[in-house]
Amino acid sequence: MRRTLILLMLCLLPLSALSETVTITFLGDCTIGGEDRLRLFDYSFDGYLRQYGYDYFFEKVQPVIAKDDLTIANLEGCFLNYESGAVEKTYNFRGPKDYVQVLTGSSVEAVSIANNHIMDYGYDGVAHTIKTLDGAALPYFGTIDTVEKTWIWDKGNARIGFVSMEISYWYYRHRNLLKSQVQSLRDAGCDVVICVMHGGEEYRLRHLRIQEQFAHAVLDYGADIVVGHHPHVLQGVEVRDGKTICYSIGNFVFGGNAKVRAPYTAIFQFNLSFSEEGEYLGHQLNIIPALPSGDKENNNYQPVLATGEDAETVMAQIQHDTKFTLNPYVEGVGAMQDFIPVQPKMQTKED
């Protein structure tokens, strides 16, 4: 009864009135490197790094990501010092091991690795990537053929668990594994569980049924928030039973293309609220419009915050795939959505 009363009062309270708010920022697909065939060209990601250094790429978004509690990016590619071992596919992405400093020096505190480019250089590429992340003390999480890794992060009284998996990996082989991973995070005392999913159709502005199936399933397993990658474009938001799904959050620092194919993105920032006793109360999503490149045609690999018409275009793209009306963008703030209180658990006769 007491929990229900607290939740009813939340609509009357600003976030600042709650005991503790934890802010977690999610960034889209980040390829910290690129294709070997382009590496020596000045217009490549590597060329920009040679000219401007490690801190260049996330410089323009520091006013946002340096002020949160945790920033998470999707690491789409490998850290590997040599090009041998590339698997046969259209695009193989890697960056030399020292490129990890692009992340560690730029307020990116963790990465998800469950995606379709982590194995671009086979098992050896995965092993070198993991060794590089461990050596840089950069936490990672994700389930692939050779890695089954969840991650727990503590902030004050809050304990938050992270899990990540490709949709195809879940659909064809490992539904029970994902379910058990979510449960293991709950058993470890996590107040909130966040799942990063990777899948969908590239450059499609509406999410697929399979994305919806995955997201709904992982929420039913016990997760609270789902954040999606892979389509490279922005897709919609869904609120379901007090939980939020972001189907695709687009590209961010994307070294995979020298030309900009998707000129709009956004920073998705969740404010998680907790009571004085550390009980999770709910969350509020802020959508901060951005561009993945300061040049909309030729990729300069440096995302910038969007304003004016660009910001409105970002919001329109997300709204296109969202069934409810999103709150509007406010210049200098973002598009702050309504607070979503956690739904009280149903009482059973045994309770």
| Number of alpha carbons in the 13 Å side-chain half-sphere of residue 86 | 17
SS (H, E, C) 91-109: CCCEECHHHHHHHHCCCCC
Query: Residue 14 has what pLDDT?
Result: 47
Q: Yes or no: say if 29 and 251 are a contact pair by the CB < 8 Å rule.
A: yes
Give dist(CA 19, CA 89) in Å, integer.
50
Give the single-character DSSP code of 138: -
- The CB density around residue 3, as the number of other CB atoms within 10 Å, is 13
Q: Which two tokens stand for residue 194?
A: 């966040």
**Partners of 79 in the beta sheet?**
95
Closest CA to 34 of 104, 86, 109: 86
Q: Which two tokens stand for residue 173?
A: 């082989």
Looking only at the bridges linking them, the beta strands covering 225-229 and 192-198 are parallel
Closest CA to 268 of 191, 322, 213: 322
Give dist(CA 119, CA 76) in Å, integer.
10
Q: Could you give the angle at the alpha carbon of 319 between the alpha carbons of 314 and 322, nearest 5°? A: 140
Q: Could you give the angle at the alpha carbon of 193 between the alpha carbons of 189 and 329, nearest 5°? A: 140
Q: Which amino acid is at 198?
A: H
Give dist(CA 87, CA 111) in Å, integer.
23
Domain boundaries, the chain: 2-9+19-151+237-341
Spacing of C-alpha 146 from chain mean position: 21
- The CB density around residue 75, as the number of other CB atoms within 10 Å, is 29
Q: Yes or no: say if 195 and 216 are a contact pair by the CB < 8 Å rule.
A: no
Give dist(CA 246, CA 202) in Å, integer.
16
User: What is the radius of gyration, based on Cα positions, of the chain?
Assistant: 20
**Tens digit of pLDDT per residue, the chain (351 long)?**
444 444 444 444 444 444 799 999 999 999 999 999 999 999 999 999 999 999 999 999 999 999 999 999 999 999 999 999 999 999 999 999 999 999 999 999 999 999 999 999 999 999 999 999 999 999 999 999 889 999 999 999 999 999 999 999 888 778 899 999 999 999 999 999 999 999 999 999 999 999 999 999 999 999 999 999 999 999 999 999 999 999 999 999 999 999 999 999 999 999 999 998 889 999 999 999 999 999 999 999 999 999 999 999 999 999 999 999 999 999 999 999 999 999 987 543 444
Q: How far apart are the first and last CA of the chain?
A: 13
Query: Residue 79 has what pLDDT?
Result: 99
Query: Residue 169 has what pLDDT?
Result: 82
Q: Yes or no: say if 61 and 291 are a contact pair by the CB < 8 Å rule.
A: no
